[in-house]
Amino acid sequence: MEQPKHLKLKGFLAFKMLHELNKKRLCGDELAEAIGTKFGTKLTPGTIYPALKFLRKKRLVSYKKFGRKKTYSLTDEGKAELKLLKRCFRKIFSGFF
């Protein structure tokens, strides 16, 4: 089975960010709210923005600027990475549920 190139299930936050951005374009605040709501916590800018920077550096996400606001979306490489991560995730956790 092919392994993800960049994340290697290293960070669940990065995986969740890719998952949310696969659904629709989001700004950092919207992404923090979407993920935080699911986990019952509030994510801070100090958590979200370094992770977004990492994902951008790996060319898994890109952004478009609208005034001062940036909206993020997956690149084609990000979509491929997410697909691999989902396969790995299912394989690792298939017997738990």
Q: What is the pLDDT of residues 39-86, one digit of tens each?
A: 788 888 888 999 999 999 999 999 999 899 999 999 999 999 999 988
The confidence band for 38, taking pLDDT boundaries of 50, 70 and 90, is: confident
DSSP letters spanning 5-42: SS-TT--HHHHHHHHHHHHS-EEHHHHHHHHHHHHTS-
Q: Where are the domains of the chain?
A: 12-89
DSSP letters spanning 40-79: TS---HHHHHHHHHHHHHTTSEEEEEETTEEEEEE-HHHH
Return the bridge partners of 66, or none: 69
With a threshold of 0.85, does the pTM exceed it?
no
In the predicted structure, residue 32 carries a pLDDT above the cut 90: yes
Q: Supply the pLDDT for residue 22.
A: 96
Confirm or reject CATH 1.10.10.10 for domain 12-89, answering yes or no: yes
